[in-house]
Chains A and B, each alone.
Chain A
Amino acid sequence: MLELDNVVRRFGDRCVVDHVSFRVDEGRMTGFVGGNGAGKTTTMRMIMGVLALSGGEIRWNGTPVTAADRRGFGYMPEERGLYPKQTVLGQLVYLGRLRGLTARAAERSASDLIDRLSLTEKRTERLESLSLGNQQRVQIAAALIGEPHLLVLDEPFSGLDPHAVDSMAELLREHTDRGVPVLFSSHQLELVERLCDDLVIQAAGRTLARGTADSLRRRGRVRHRLVTGGPTDWVRGVKGVDVITSENGTALLELATDDVADRLLAEALRRGPVREFAEIVPSVADVFREMTAA
Chain B
Amino acid sequence: MTTLTTETTPQPSTGPNSDPTPDPTPEKPSPTMRTEPPAPQPRIPSAWRIVTAREISVKIRDRGFLLSTLATLAVILGAVGLQFYIASTTGKITVAAVAPASSELVKQAESLADRSDQDIDITLRQESSEEAVRAAVRSGDVDAGLLRTPTGWALLGDTDTDSTAATWLGAAVQANAMEANATAAGTSMADLAKGATLQHTLLSPDETPETVVRMATYFFGFLFYLAAVLLGVSLATSIVEEKQNRVVEIIASSVRLRDLLIGKIVGSTTLALAQMVAFTAAAAIGLVAAGHEETFGQVTAGLGWFLVYYVVGIAVLACVFAAAGAIATRTEDIQSTTTPVNAIVAVVFIAGITASGTAQSVLSFAPLTSTITMPARIIAGDTAWWEPAASLLISLAAAALVVLGAERVYRRALMQTGRKLSFRQALKLAD
CB contacts (< 8 Å) of A251 on chain B: these are: none
Does the CB pair A69–B28 fall under 8 Å?
A: no
> Would you give the 0/1 interface string for A44-84, flagging 1 where the beta carbon is closer than 8 Å to chain B?
01001111101000001100000111111101010111111
- Interface residue B39 (Cβ < 8 Å from any Cβ of A): yes
Q: How distant is the Cα of A98 from the Cα of B43 in the complex, in angstroms?
A: 13
Which of chain B's residues have a CB closer than 8 A to the CB of A84? Answer: 245
Residues of A3-21 whose CB lies within 8 A of B:
3, 5-6, 10-11, 18-19, 21
Cβ < 8 Å to A, chain B residues 226-261: 241, 245-256
- A258 shortest CB reach to chain B, Å: 12
For the complex, is A271 an interface residue (Cβ under 8 Å from B)?
no
Is A116 on the interface with B (CB-CB < 8 A)?
Answer: no
A80 neighbours in B (Cβ, 8 Å): 246
B431 within 8 Å of A (CB atoms): yes
B32 is contacted by which of A86, A98, A179, A290 (Cβ under 8 Å)? A179
Contact call A214/B245, Cβ cutoff below 8 A: no
- Say whether A51 contacts B431, CB under 8 Å: yes
Taking a contact as CB atoms under 8 Å apart, the answer to whether B17 and A18 are in contact is yes
CB distance from A35 to the nearest CB of B (A): 13
Tell yes or no: B152 within 8 A of A by CB.
Answer: no
B13 at the interface (CB under 8 A from A): yes
Partner of B33, one of A75, A86, A179, A215: A179
Q: Assess the A52–B39 pair: CB atoms within 8 A.
A: no
Contact between B16 and A219, CB atoms less than 8 A apart: no
Cα A48 to Cα B253 in complex, Å, equals 5
Query: In whole angstroms, what is the CA distance A22 to B24 when docked?
Result: 9
Nearest CB of B to A86, in Å: 6
| B396 nearest CB across to chain A (Å) | 26
Q: In the bound complex, how far is the Cα of B44 from the Cα of A162, in angstroms?
A: 40
Chain A residues within an 8 Å CB radius of B39: 68-72, 100, 149
Interface flag for B22 (CB, 8 Å): yes
Chain B contact surface mostly: loop
Q: Say yes or no: A67 contacts B33, CB within 8 Å.
A: no
B343 interface residue per 8 A CB criterion: no
Q: Is chain A's interface secondary structure helix, strand, loop, or mixed overall?
A: mixed
B32-A19 in contact (CB<8A): no
Q: Is B35 an interface residue (CB 8 A)?
A: yes
Instruction: Mark A204-230 against chain B: 1 for CB-CB distance below 8 A, else 0.
Output: 001111111011001100000000000
Question: Given A75-B253, A102-B44, A219-B11, do A69 and B38 touch, yes or no (CB 8 Å)?
Answer: yes
Select B44's contact among A54, A85, A101, A179, beta carbons within 8 Å. A101
Q: Do residues A294 and B17 form an inter-chain contact, with CB atoms below 8 A?
A: no
Interfacial residues of chain B within 88-106, with CB under 8 A of chain A in the complex: none
Bound complex: CA A227 to CA B293 (Å): 109
CA distance in complex: A129, B7 (Å): 49
Are the CB atoms of B13 and A294 closer together than 8 Å? yes
Contact partner, A211, options B3, B7, B246, Cβ 8 Å: B7
B 16-50 contacts with A by CB, 8 A: 16-17, 20-23, 25, 27-28, 30, 32-35, 38-44, 47, 50
B211 at the binding interface (Cβ < 8 Å): no
User: Counting CB contacts under 8 A, is A235 at the interface?
Assistant: no
Smallest distance from the beta carbon of B65 to chain A beta carbons, Å? 12
Knowing A26-B33, A142-B250 are in contact, say whether A198-B25 is a contact too (CB < 8 A).
yes
Tell me if A117 counts as interface (CB < 8 A to partner B): no
A27 within 8 A of B: yes
Report the Cα distance A100→B25, complex, angstroms. 33
Which residues of the partner chain B approach A71 to less than 8 Å between Cβ atoms? 39, 254-255
Q: Is the CB of A70 within 8 A of B10?
A: no
B45 vs chain A, min Cβ distance (A) = 9
- Are B430 and A52 in contact, CB atoms less than 8 angstroms apart? yes
Does any Cβ of B come within 8 Å of A264's Cβ? Answer: no
- From the candidates A49, A82, A209, A215, name the one contacting B247 in the complex (CB within 8 A): A82
Chain A contact residues (Cβ within 8 angstroms of B): what range?
A: 35 or more
**Are A98 and B254 touching (Cβ within 8 A)?**
yes
Assess whether A23 is in contact with B25, with CB atoms less than 8 Å apart: yes
- Closest residue of chain B to A11 (Cβ to Cβ) is B430
Q: Are B42 and A105 in contact (CB under 8 A)?
A: yes
Contact A86 B38 (CB under 8 A): no
Which of chain A's residues has its CB closest to B47's CB? A98
B202 at interface by CB-CB < 8 Å: no
- Contacts of B186-237 to chain A: CB distance below 8 A: none
Residue B67 lies at the interface, judged by CB distance under 8 Å to chain A: no
Q: Please tell me if the beta carbons of A25 and B54 are within 8 angstroms of each other in the complex.
A: no
| A94 at interface by CB-CB < 8 Å | yes
Q: Is the CB of B7 within 8 A of A100?
A: no
Residues of B within 8 Å of A102, CB to CB, are: 42-44
Q: Which residues of A from 179 to 211 have beta carbons under 8 Å from B?
A: 179-180, 198, 203, 206-211
Closest to A176 in B: B32
Residues of A within 8 A of B27 (CB): 25
Bound CA–CA A68/B30 (angstroms): 25
Contacts of B241 in A (CB 8 A): 83
Cβ of B2 and Cβ of A72 under 8 Å apart? no
Distance, CA A85 to CA B415, complexed state (A) = 23
Asked whether any CB of chain A lies closer than 8 Å to the CB of B5, the reply is yes
Q: Is there a chain A Cβ closer than 8 Å to B339's Cβ?
A: no
A21 to B22, Cβ gap below 8 A? Answer: yes
Contacts of B23 in A (CB 8 A): 21-23, 210-211
A112 and B337 CA atoms in complex are apart in Å by 42
Nearest B residue to A128 via CB reads B245
By a beta-carbon cutoff of 8 Å, the part of chain B in contact with chain A is 1-7, 10-13, 16-17, 20-23, 25, 27-28, 30, 32-35, 38-44, 47, 50-51, 54, 58, 62, 241, 245-256, 414-415, 417, 430-431
21 contacts between A and B (CB under 8 A): A21-B20, A23-B25, A26-B32, A28-B28, A50-B249, A50-B253, A51-B431, A69-B39, A75-B249, A77-B249, A81-B245, A82-B245, A82-B247, A82-B250, A177-B32, A206-B17, A212-B4, A214-B3, A215-B6, A219-B12, A219-B13
3 pairs of A and B residues whose beta carbons are closest in the complex: A81-B246, A179-B32, A206-B16
Additional A-B contacts beyond A51-B415, A69-B38, A212-B5 (18; CB < 8 A): A3-B22, A6-B20, A23-B25, A25-B27, A27-B30, A27-B32, A27-B33, A49-B252, A68-B39, A81-B247, A94-B50, A95-B251, A97-B44, A179-B32, A211-B7, A211-B23, A212-B4, A214-B1
